[in-house]
Chains A and B, each alone.
Chain A
């Protein structure tokens, strides 16, 4: 019985020490075995719901660096996901990982207990952990003992936790903010900052075009380490962020940014309580002046006062202060007149993502691909790639891909990888004209592109690496150890990319249209062009033949090229 008397963290600060110790003592004494024994078995719940599917309910759990969160949402046609339930419990996962390298047993136990509590909330909607998408971010990703941790969590609670990458977090936040702000987000020069406990995500977008998407591998918790609310070290943290901002500013001139969107739940709470913001449907809106005033207030308040005013616990209030410092640092080089703070969190983004995933028929998937390609373009621009050529190669590669679809037997995901590889195939030229395929490969492999997993990025890098004719036959390709299926997929993509690249070998974007046809042992490619220059065509044909060798090896078809002149 006592096991279920809980001392909430948000209240502990207010409790007299004696009671607090007793409280935590109770919590420990009656840990999991006791509480598991009294928990009603989940199978007993909800006969009616067993008979029918749980409808359009979505549930997500996020094991973040600072807290465990749960959201249950409901999909109502034509409306944003309706949040039915949300829960958040502070958890020291991030502190463990960032200071000790791994998650402690006691923390794991806390996580398990909280997840058990979460499954009770799920049960109230007839849902089970299996119906719930559970994700973990930096704190688990970077933990030495992540496999053991995940195994214990899954075996004890039934939640299958998916560890997502930093850039995936960026994508999720980007996706969410686009949905929240709608058209407003596509106008002007906007910087989106997601200040997470484990990582920072920066996105710059200009008139709807993605300019920059970066994940910075320091979050508020890492910044907070050692600061312990001390203003001197806090200024140190600020100097560090300033340095990072300067380096981003060099990449992309931040001065033109006219609006900031900042996602951070602690800062939201503090701003709502103390910043006298304007409340808009998108969230809180604050002018630069209001921001400055908030900064002064934050300087004056102690963590305790801040906590009392905002309703956060003291640790969270301290993070809000750091988040504010980070926001200030990013705001400084810009000419932004105001900052928007949407009321949202990782969970909302997961809920939205779950919804989009569950509706593959809608524009959700296509939209995701566009974002991924936009992110690839941002990388391409960073390395000053010839955008016209890249765009032409991409278009030609996709035309070839679509024309050859029955022959290729690959899915839409491979098409996306081809598209990204085509956009980025020449980024290596930024390093050197010599062996630029190799340079492209490592630049790609070490970039981050929203919507692609690390493993997919590796594949894109391999495709880009081998787009050159220097590597002729299959035997000469260095694809590394890969499962057979993936190896074949890569070979197919490389051969298509090589043909497409050959068709724009002169980098003049002469080819305006393609038709492909398989006839006997031949792949007949008919290219419509405007130019009437046999010499150029002869060059093109030679490159085409050279680059077509691999195609022949892979598909057993000889690619032939004819040119059709169009008006």
Chain B
């Protein structure tokens, strides 16, 4: 025992855990693998390629930018693995360059594969004359009015190019006449200048040519502009045209990600997003070396921050192609969302009074959740609706329901999280709409993002006040509910109702966190509760009946929880982790984590639920949560964890988790070296997402019909 402990202590942090940033990049690699996987339908692969690109953009804006800030502030080692910012940045650069190159290859391959399917992406100059004249018309009518070419020279400093935008950078040589005019003497030599032409953000990236019966052709906007560049910079001779794109520090990591020391060190560097420091320069291969050097100097970049794109930049725009297609055979066969068993004509309230319901999107339709809000809005006995809104769409049925309820004079409280990353502007807009309708809109607590997903309906019934609650792992967004897998519990359980009422009071500042009856909240008690649960599993583990923990989440970063899991493993508890993204835990190391297995699922739907399943000495317990096991979730966000108590729900959830642990199509296992390997396939292929769809359908059919209950009419 003592020896083991000594061995433990000898292990340095680098050995005990994986670097968070590198682990994230490995996750994005798995997304890329889906783009490369010929088993996937073509357009889905294009979509994965686009998601890889947008993921990576966000990673640079937030994480890499954070590392550079730490570097500038000369902070010592910051990561869970004890690596310095410099070590992390260098590691990220190597991996990111490698992945970007692979991504390029994949995109080239995908575009080539699109041709036989009747789709092509072409530069303007590659097209025959009639089509080019169409593009010329397009340029004159639509593009020209919205573009602003600028010259950078001694009198025109380098403009601030917005993060993520594409810009054409043009090497120009002044024509003799112009130079003369400027100098008014013949002695002046024509100057070399640089022209910049930002691509309009209001127009789509790809312009589709009219195609009739022929193949569909998409032309990237930058190539149309490049074709017309001589017209735009009259008085100059064009030497070269290239596309560049900057990724800037989004300055948003501060709230949650930074430690206190970091905050202090970084306090002076709070700048607007548009003016954030540049963390990455991407440019097309055409950029000549003079301009390359000039740009790097101008922006103060290291060589490794420069990425050369040989096909397209900003591949996130490829989603436009995905959306433009009506070719079902190029996409995943659609699976009709199941409608949870609710008798026609029965109100959601009646349905939930009979028994609590577990909804699993996208297998289940989002309708019951929307119906709860919609019915509550119309029901004369409903007194109040309270809801948290993190990311949602303005045209979502949930917002419509809340607006309607407020207009009907019900007490509506909407907790709108404005700091939902990159969604701020959209959120402000519909928050105002809600406010005009008469809802009480609150924006949460300073320093704490409201990340929990809760909906509360207060209804007056014949036997008193009853509260209907929906608690979920994902956002109230009907659109993402079709793309993300998420779990939700709908119930009128009294204790949960009381807890959720209190939760809203906490968020609106009307109370301190109380002693919860069934739920647990961060940042006050969730971390402690998780630690307690893990410790309890250790206590209850016996050689004959070893403890077991199955935890599913998007990211596992928190050092304290990782250590608790190591301790559980050492005590012989079997730990199965299903972590989609970042995982800093190092599994399968003797004497440290030999009983821990980590797998990741990246499939057609984005795995999003957070589930915890504990054997608990034979009395299984299951919890759902909105929180990942990361310091930001546990210490700087309002998150919720709630128990799943119905035996049928527990049975369903454990079966779902078991299916995910048996997946041998989309699952990758994390090795002790930090690589993800596809699971060796023994026996029949099992894609857990499809298997869960089937299971859900069967489970639903097998579920007992709702009991017939005779409920007196409260009113005629």
Contact = CB atoms under 8 A, between A and B. Distances in A.
A309 B263 CA distance: 25
Contacts of B505: 85, 87, 121
Interface string A127-148: 0000000000000000000000
B262 to A, nearest CB: 9
Given A10-B513, A18-B263, A88-B514, A124 B383 contact: yes
Contacts of A309: 528
Nearest to B410: A46
A26 interface: yes
Interface string B376-401: 00001101101000000000000000
Interface in B590-624: none
A125 B458 contact: yes
B705 interface: no
Contacts of A7: 445-447
B464 interface: yes
Contacts, number: 142
A11 B447 contact: yes
Interface string A1-31: 1101111111100111011101100100000
A84 interface: yes
Contacts of A44: 409, 438
Contact of A117 (B384, B460, B508): B508
A39 B465 contact: no
A10 B635 contact: no
Given A40-B438, A89-B510, A120 B498 contact: no
Contact of B635 (A14, A46, A87, A117): A14
B501 A311 contact: no
Contact of B512 (A18, A90, A272): A90
B465 A125 contact: yes
Interface residues on B, range: 35 or more
Contact of A125 (B381, B384, B463, B515): B384
Interface centre among B383, B464, B465, B514 (most CB of A within 10 A): B465
B250 interface: no
A70 B413 contact: no
Interface string B498-534: 1001100110111111110000000111001000000
A23 B446 contact: yes
B440 interface: yes
Contacts of B438: 40, 44
Interface string A59-102: 00000000100100010100000111111111000000000000
B411 A45 contact: yes
Contacts of B408: 47
Nearest to A39: B440
B403 to A, nearest CB: 14
B contact face: mostly helix, strand, loop, or mixed: mixed
A123 interface: yes
Contacts of A20: 447
B260 interface: yes
A306 B380 CA distance: 46
B510 A311 contact: no
B411 A8 contact: no
B264 interface: yes
Contacts of B386: 124
B411 A19 contact: no
Contacts of A5: 443-446
Contacts of A370: none
Interface stretch (A49-57, A292-300, A434-442, A509-517): A49-57
A76 B464 contact: yes
A125 B383 contact: yes
A74 B438 CA distance: 27
A38 B410 CA distance: 16
Contacts of B511: 70, 86-89
A303 B61 CA distance: 39
B448 interface: yes
B435 interface: yes
Contacts of A324: none
A10 B512 CA distance: 6
Given A46-B410, A48-B380, A6 B509 contact: yes
Interface in B390-442: 408-411, 413, 435, 438-442
B692 to A, nearest CB: 36
A124 B514 contact: no
A84 B465 CA distance: 8
Given A18-B267, A44-B409, A84-B465, A121 B445 contact: no
A114 interface: yes
B502 A87 contact: yes
Given A45-B411, A85-B498, A311 B513 contact: yes
B679 to A, nearest CB: 41
Contacts of B439: 40
A402 to B, nearest CB: 40
B190 to A, nearest CB: 53
Given A14-B523, A22-B446, A117 B498 contact: no
Among A11, A14, A70, A83, max chain B CB count under 10 A is at A11
B435 A16 contact: no
A87 B509 CA distance: 9
A6 B508 CA distance: 8
A74 B514 contact: no
B523 A11 contact: yes
Given A45-B410, A82-B464, 18 more contacts: A4-B442, A9-B512, A10-B513, A16-B264, A47-B408, A47-B409, A74-B464, A74-B465, A84-B465, A84-B467, A87-B510, A89-B511, A118-B510, A120-B510, A124-B383, A124-B458, A313-B512, A343-B515
16 contacts: A4-B443, A6-B446, A6-B509, A8-B445, A18-B267, A19-B446, A23-B447, A38-B435, A49-B383, A49-B460, A56-B464, A70-B511, A82-B494, A121-B510, A123-B411, A125-B458
Interface of B: 260, 263-264, 267, 380-381, 383-384, 386, 408-411, 413, 435, 438-448, 458, 460, 463-465, 467, 494, 498, 501-502, 505-506, 508-515, 523-525, 528, 635
Q: Which 8 A-B pairs have the closest CB atoms?
A: A6-B509, A87-B511, A124-B384, A23-B446, A7-B446, A117-B510, A124-B411, A87-B505
